[in-house]
Chain A
Amino acid sequence: MSVDVHEVSVAFGGVTALNKVSLQLERGRILAVIGPNGSGKSTLFNSITGMVAAAGGKIAVDGVSIDNMAPNRRIALGLARTFQTPRFDPHITVEEAVLCGFYPVAKPGMLSSLLRSPGVAREEKSFSDRCSEILRELRLTKYRATKMGELPMGQVRLVEVARAVANNPKYILLDEPAAGLARDEQAMLSVEVRRLVEKGVGVLLVEHNFNLIRELAEHVIVLNRGAMLMSGRAEDIARDKAFIDVYLGSSGR
């Protein structure tokens, strides 16, 4: 049970954004992707979720090839993602934003939604309950009725995570979820990520905060200029000279 990315390449015009990157994301594991800005981390996310077309390579989820699947069908297979720059409608409340994440699990069609059949009413109730639960876990309950546009950036990122968690994904792709979070919020986020992992969710984590990565991830992949520079355990990577050069610059030595 895993997401298998095999030698995926993405090109924007003449620029190769991703060059034959391979990885395996297993359920119940955390895999971290790091690299400098422009190294292709978000492009990797976009190619897995189908938001950019891959120029080559294969991607499979639980053995099912998803190369020709539209993004929404990939999400329905159990993928979920957050965005590096949170995307949200500033006019809706936190609760509404999280409820939007339930879409892949919602079953009723247009007609039963129009008529508000008992099934729809039951489902809305269960979404609302589950939403309260997610908000409680991420300590967002007091923001429930707050407009997204009035929320501090740290909380906006947490809402992004909540929205991604809502559809019960098997694999979740988190794009810099801890950027701009206060230390205690980061701690809470890592508790939440661990809880997901215990439930058997595979987590692909893009993050700049190496302490958080060291705390969470067993395995780390380093990207540089779209290519895989190295991969290994977080401690080994942190000591690696080539990694330090690329990531921190030579003065970091």
Chain B
Amino acid sequence: MMLRMRDRLRPAFILFIIIAALTPLIVGKPFWLDNSILIAVFSLMALSVGMSYGQAGILSVATAGFASVGAYATSIVTAHYGLSPLLGLLLAIILPMLLGYPMARAITRLSPMPLSIATLLLSMVLEIAIREGGDFTGGYIGLSGIPNLPFASSLEAMHVLSWSIVVVVIALYANLTHSAIGRAVKTARHDPLRATADGVDVPKILASYFALSAAVAGVAGWLYAHHLMYMGPDSLTIHVSIKTMLMTVIGGAQTFLGPVLGAAFLTMLTLYLPASEAQGMIFGATLVFVLLVTPRGILGTDWLKLLSRSKKRETPIADVTRTSERTA
């Protein structure tokens, strides 16, 4: 849709305002700054899920895998070789793309289920590679001594940097969504044959989009590594992937701010939940509740419409698009 710049960049702007308003409240409070940075990192990972799942329809559990590729790449070049974290950032963007593109190219022809299993396998392979990587990856012990970012050495600076990256990613993501490529990806998710008739090379565009979402996860990993200054095999596991998936679905996978809201919500929930054993139960209950009430997520739902619909039930719109074309 032809949107004016103001409308297109509204989500990024809203987030900027919110962060600008909250920042003075948490300056000088390490506990909150720390959590704010973690929420920003999870927001990026959730945005990556929003791109691959919400836009391209690829249900991937390799998000944390791609993030750990980014995290380990920067950890290795900075901690082992003493190189600039900016080189790490470059690698954290490029390596997940190089990994994600061929994988998606090979498997986007498959139906959604085998595709998810393939991403699961990829993350398991990555986890094994990290454990067995010896001194290079730190093995079971992990890598410590990852320097903090010279241009963001205080917690405050890290907070500003992390959220700036989230705002920029949302702005770029909105640009892409409101372009020919974004529309083609949306069509390809809904109906590949329709997209083909529009002239779209469906496997290629889905793979490119998936690679891009992997790069966003890689950037999240880069921030994560330089914030915590330690990376271990238990840092970014499949468990984290599933958690980010949950964040995205709860917030609204197809919206720009939904993943951020989901990330903030679940991270805060974790903070205030008493025992970690009970977390799974609460997460599960939240997911079931959200899927029952608002399958499109908190921000993906037209609440006014939902409320008016619950008064007078409308008949759902018939979905005629999946009918086979082979007849006649």
Which A positions have Cβ atoms within 8 angstroms of B? 12, 37-39, 41-43, 46, 49, 51-52, 70-73, 75-76, 80-81, 83-90, 92-93, 95-96, 99-104, 106, 108, 110, 113-116, 120, 123-125, 127-128, 131, 149-150, 163, 167
CA gap between A96 and B179 in the complex, in Å? 11
Q: How far is the CB of B319 from chain A (nearest CB, A)?
A: 7
In the complex, what residue of chain A is closest to B296 when comparing beta carbons?
A: A91
Q: Could you list 6 A-B pairs, sorted by A, with CB under 8 Å? A: A51-B193, A75-B196, A83-B325, A90-B317, A113-B179, A116-B175
- The answer to whether B235 has its CB under 8 Å from any CB of chain A is no
CA gap between A116 and B258 in the complex, in Å? 23
Chain B residues with CB below 8 A from A123, complex form: 180
6 additional A-B residue pairs with CB within 8 Å, beyond A73-B201, A90-B321, A103-B180: A39-B328, A42-B326, A43-B326, A49-B197, A87-B191, A114-B172
CA gap between A90 and B322 in the complex, in Å? 12
Q: Mark B292-328, 1 if CB is under 8 A from A, else 0.
A: 0000000000000000000000000101110101111
Q: Which of these, A51, A90, A103, contacts B199 with CB under 8 Å?
A: A103
Q: How far is the CB of A103 from chain B (nearest CB, A)?
A: 5
Q: Which of these, B2, B196, B319, contacts A127 with CB under 8 Å?
A: B2
Chain A residues with CB below 8 A from B1, complex form: 93, 95-96, 99
> Are B200 and A103 neighbours in the complex by a CB distance under 8 Å?
yes
Chain B residues with CB below 8 A from A108, complex form: 179-181
> Are A103 and B198 neighbours in the complex by a CB distance under 8 Å?
yes
CA gap between A112 and B197 in the complex, in Å? 24
> Are A110 and B321 neighbours in the complex by a CB distance under 8 Å?
no
> Are B325 and A110 neighbours in the complex by a CB distance under 8 Å?
no
6 residue pairs, one from A and one from B, having the closest CB atoms: A106-B180, A75-B199, A128-B2, A104-B199, A113-B179, A149-B317
Q: Which of these, A37, A71, A102, A116, contacts B328 with CB under 8 Å?
A: A37
Chain A residues with CB below 8 A from B319, complex form: 90
Q: How far is the CB of B109 from chain A (nearest CB, A)?
A: 13
Chain A residues with CB below 8 A from B212, complex form: 110
Chain B residues with CB below 8 A from A83, complex form: 194, 197, 325
In the complex, what residue of chain A is closest to B180 when comparing beta carbons?
A: A106
Q: How far is the CB of A75 from chain B (nearest CB, A)?
A: 4
Q: How far is the CB of A97 from chain B (nearest CB, A)?
A: 9
Q: How far is the CB of B3 from chain A (nearest CB, A)?
A: 9
Q: Which of these, A12, A90, A128, A167, contacts B326 with CB under 8 Å?
A: A12
- The answer to whether B55 has its CB under 8 Å from any CB of chain A is no
CA gap between A120 and B172 in the complex, in Å? 13
Chain A residues with CB below 8 A from B321, complex form: 85-90
Asked whether A124 and B191 contact (CB < 8 A) given A38-B328, A115-B172, A150-B317, the answer is no
CA gap between A81 and B200 in the complex, in Å? 13
> Are B201 and A72 neighbours in the complex by a CB distance under 8 Å?
yes
Q: How far is the CB of A146 from chain B (nearest CB, A)?
A: 12
Q: How far is the CB of A227 from chain B (nearest CB, A)?
A: 16
Chain A residues with CB below 8 A from B193, complex form: 51, 87
> Are A85 and B194 neighbours in the complex by a CB distance under 8 Å?
no
> Are A113 and B180 neighbours in the complex by a CB distance under 8 Å?
yes
Q: How far is the CB of A39 from chain B (nearest CB, A)?
A: 8
Chain A residues with CB below 8 A from B327, complex form: 37-38, 42
- The answer to whether B186 has its CB under 8 Å from any CB of chain A is yes
> Are B180 and A102 neighbours in the complex by a CB distance under 8 Å?
yes
CA gap between A13 and B49 in the complex, in Å? 40
- The answer to whether B187 has its CB under 8 Å from any CB of chain A is yes
Chain B residues with CB below 8 A from A85, complex form: 320-321, 323, 325
